[in-house]
Structure 1
Amino acid sequence: MPRAEHAVSRESFSENALKVLYRLHNSGYQAYLVGGCIRDVMLGKEPKDFDVTTDATPEQIKGLFRNCRLIGRRFRLAHIVFGREIIEVATFRGHHETSQDTESKVSKQSDHGQLLRDNVFGSIEEDAQRRDFTINAMYYNIADFSIRDFAGGMQAIKDKKIALIGDPDTRYKEDPVRMLRAIRFAVKLNMTISQETAEPIKRMAPLMANIPPARLFEEVLKLLLSGQGLDTYKLLSEYHLFEPLFPQLAPLLKQPESRENRFVEQVLTNTDNRINTGQRVTPAFIFAAFMWYPLEERCEQLMAEGGLNHFDAFNLALNDVLNRQIQRIMIPKRFSIPIRDIWQLQNRLPKRYGRRAYQLLEHPKFRAAYDFLLLRGQIEGGKLLELAEWWTDFQEADENQRKNMLNILREKEGGAPKRARRKRKKPKASS
């Protein structure tokens, strides 16, 4: 499609992306913008990520840009760094070898058909066939500002359909994460997944177990922190993709009206509202929420089977549940530590006597733990909701009101629990 036949303008693209395109073009290489940025402009959305594809090899790209770093083992990529913005540049991909020879240096497949290494370069036509969805196989040519649509992406946008390029079974086996991407694009773009693309997902969902936990962390953030997390969760559940991600939680969500399901949906609703109004969110809160009821269940199991007190059982359960989840989705320490804080504060927030209430207010994770408690109270009601409302009032009260609240609490509870004093042993008389 020549420039006169489409509405995609350079003004929609990042200045840094254009710099990369022009340097490649002026150095004698083909250079195209590809994928989501073209799709988003055609849908009237503001593009955020700008991916470039070229016939230059990663080493040739690195030779052109001092601010370039090469990354990736599965497929070699160049990242051109402009401060906080990174322009990703990929060499045209070719058809991978069908051999499963483990010694192959350019292409390697697992026994399940998953591509483990794929450094096979080719032409732009081959590259288009290797793209995942038809809406992502449109290329903007910086040489003449034309668009090349290899797989009917324009028609897919008009039909509002998410469709894989090639045989769905084969493409999902090559990379099971494509099933998650189908869900994400369907929700994000308000489209439906075509019948051929959707049909294999439920039966192939177990292949998600083959994806490294570290890779799934980034994918889950894209799914749940998109501002449309609730709709994404419902579609993941419909296609049986939620269970491979959160295997401890999924069995507790079978009843739509269960407290566990209502809790998850409310967490995602609140998160969507915060994202869509420009407020800050942290993945730690969502992960803490998704593992809370498995934690409670495991704690009760340890108390019943091992005769442990609640404190010991809770701490053992905390480690068990977190370690099991990390086997599926690798949670970095910068998030796993706040998750632990949020959970442990749930046991400390009921203990408000004396200076404890003031000390808890000063805890760095108090606000997150309070929000978590309030959410639990709204779902479960009863004493939990009363406790959450008490903390709401305590935060808003002045110093005299706070003292009065603590006095009322002490009288209501019959006085603060006293610690048993340990008797000091008398020193033995020296002989």
Structure 2
Amino acid sequence: MRQPFTREKRASPLEWGASALRRLADGVASFGLFGSRVATIVDPVRIPRAEHSISRSQISSATLKVLYTLKDAGYEAYMVGGGVRDLLAGVPPKDFDIATDAKPEQIRALFRNCRLVGRRFLIAHVRFGSEVLEVTTFRGPISDSHERDDSGRILSDNVYGTLEEDAFRRDFTVNGLYYDIRDFAIVDYVGGLEDLKRRQLRLIGDPELRYREDPVRMLRAVRIASKLGFEIEASARKAIPQLAPLLGEVPAARLFEEVLKILLAIDAAASFRTLCELGLFREMFPQSEAVISESPQLLQFVESALSNTADRLARGATVSPSFLYAALLWPAVERRASTLQDKQGHPPAVAWTQAAEEVVARQISRVAIPKRFSVPAREIWMLQPRFEQRRGARAKRLLGHPRFRAAYDFLLLRAEAGLAPQELAQWWTDAQESVELSDLPPVPDEDGDAAPATRKRRRRRRSRSGKPAG
């Protein structure tokens, strides 16, 4: 990327960086992020098309159509947020967001395929085939009139503003960059370009205030930093362990979506380690964290499961949230099942069933798990003890179980972490090549010697009268 410049004159890197930080500090101080609306006071940096790397060929056709439709109707229209950030960082964006001065009802009037959603802040979803674009009206500054809960979280935010006011309402500076469809320039009010160059994730405004407004920003910080390989700025990172309990105020359904974004990703293992370091994983999965913190093997198991998911994503293979949640909650399920068997004398099948029910019931109060994912996860857990049953028709029935493949992959991860015998995992690997029941691999006896997997029962001869012969 060439050197950015202001509208008045070109600046050296040190001068530009210093001026950007001064503008940010002055802007935040003036807006306060909670004060009343004031006149425009910040002169943005504008980087012309010739001096940045974003090309329209990198932007989806649906996004361009929405941008041009808004512009042609006389409205301001900008691509903003993660799409701009990722393109400038050289990472393919997952989606594109748009900001405009058009009100939600005006957006809906322009697009027949538009639906307005959201309570806290009204958003327009414009659908083109399988692509859904999020179009938001410029947000105004936060004031005392905004409805909040006792922890400071904003409950209602339908106050509209200007482009500048919207920029200072963004969470991180690298998310406060705008792509102007009129001249294809990048507009930067908050020093986001400088932070991109520094590979730094910095909050706009006071970290504690911004996290209290929306605690999910703590999770977003971890996700973006892991995705781009950025460092979370010191003050933004320092505030997280203290404020992590605020996640308890976030609806469980919203946390479900955030967990998928963070951990159903190529960089999931790195994100998981950071979540644990900052105390965020404990707030979302307290049952599992209590067990993992005491067992390096279980920690390795969860990290291996996340790495396995990342490998599948990299290969373009399908991944399931069921397997992810089965791995995240397995430490708690296994601990509870062992307690029910060893200390309360429950039969194994009863113990595993009850353990699964208890752990899921407690978990959904923190992070929601739809039944379409929790039911397959339970089946994966319930099949783990059955891998010990390798004799007779039971082994063959297990091989034909609809959830066998997922449960088998789960067994391999357990064996890799030392939570299950490698010999057991290898036996089931070999068993999948068997065609007939009699072809199953031999099962080692208690002394380690191989014994046949099945024993042919000797049929007693019967006389013509039907009575046993002899």
Q: Normalization by structure 2: what TM-score?
A: 0.82
CA distance in 1, matches of 2:74, 2:203: 32
- Contact kept, 8 Å, 1:12 with 1:47, in 2: the verdict is no
Partner of 1:403: 438
User: What residue is the counterpart of 1:241 in the other structure?
Assistant: 280
1:79 to 125, 134, 137: 125
Residue deviations 1:278-331, cap 9 Å, x none? 222111112111211211211232335543222222211110001111111101
In structure 2, the CA distance between the partners of 1:7 and 1:309, relative to structure 1 (3 Å rule), is closer
User: 1:389 matched to which residue of 2?
Assistant: 426
Q: Which residue of 2 aligns with 1:32?
A: 78
State the secondary structure of the residue aligned to 2:322: helix
One-letter identity of the residue aligned with 1:394: A
| Contact 2:380/2:403, CA 8 A, preserved across alignment | yes
Q: Can you list the C-alpha shifts for 1:30-56, whole angstroms capped at 9, x where unaligned?
A: 111111111111112222311011111
Deviating more after overlay: 303-312 vs 7-16? 303-312
What count of residue pairs does the alignment treat as equivalent?
Answer: 407
Q: Give the one of 55, 66, 75 matched to 2:112.
A: 66
Which of the numbers 88, 91, 97 marks the counterpart of 2:137? 91
Residues 353/153 of structure 1: CA separation in 2 closer, same or farther (3 Å cut): same
**Matching residue of 1:12:** 58
Cα distance in structure 2, aligned partners of 1:404 and 1:234? 44
Within a 5 Å distance, the mapping from 1:28-427 to structure 2 comes to 28-99=74-145, 107-255=146-294, 258-380=296-418, 384-397=421-434, 399=435, 402-405=437-440, 412=451
* Structure 2 residue ranges without an equivalent (≥5): 1-45, 458-470
Structure 1 unmatched ranges of 5 or more? 100-106, 419-431
For the residue of structure 2 that corresponds to 1:88, the secondary structure is: strand
**Alpha-carbon spacing, 1:46–1:406, altered in 2? closer, same or farther (3 Å):** closer
Distance 1:350 1:78 in 2: 53
Paired residue type of 2:88: M
Q: Distance in 1 between matches of 2:92 and 2:335?
A: 44
Q: Structure 1 residues 381 and 242 mapped into 2: Cα distance closer, same or farther (>3 Å)?
A: closer
CA offsets 1:354-388 (integer angstroms, 9 cap, x no match): 33223222221110001111221222266x32222
Alpha-carbon distance change, 408 to 232 in structure 1, aligned in 2, over 3 angstroms: closer
- The structural deviation recorded for 1:407 is 7.0
- The one-letter code matched in structure 1 to 2:439 is N
Looking at structure 2, the residues matched to 282 and 330 of structure 1 have their Cα atoms a distance apart, in angstroms, of 16
TM-superposition CA deviations, 1:184-228 (whole Å, max 9, x none): 111111110111211111111111111111001111111111201
Structure 2 residue matching 1:87: 3-state secondary structure = strand
CA distance in 1: counterparts of 2:353 and 2:208, whole angstroms: 43
Secondary structure of 2:64's counterpart equals: helix
Counterpart CA distance in 1 for 2:232 and 2:108 is 38
Alpha carbons 1:354, 1:406 under 8 Å: kept: no
Please tell me whether the aligned partners of residues 52 and 88 of structure 1 are also in contact (alpha carbons under 8 angstroms).
Answer: yes
CA distance in 2, matches of 1:6, 1:205: 37
SS in 2 for 1:33: strand
Name the CA shift for 1:123/1:312 in 2 (closer, same or farther; >3 Å): same
Q: Residues of 2 paired with 1:260 and 1:330: CA distance?
A: 23
Distance in 2 of aligned mates of 1:181 and 1:414:
51
What SS is found at the alignment partner of 1:109?
coil
- Report the CA distance between 1:339 and its aligned residue: 0.4
SS of 1:248's partner is: helix
Corresponding residue of 1:425: none
Give the Cα–Cα distance (whole angstroms) in 2 for the partners of residues 46 and 231 of structure 1. 19
Pairwise CA distance, 1:413: 7.7
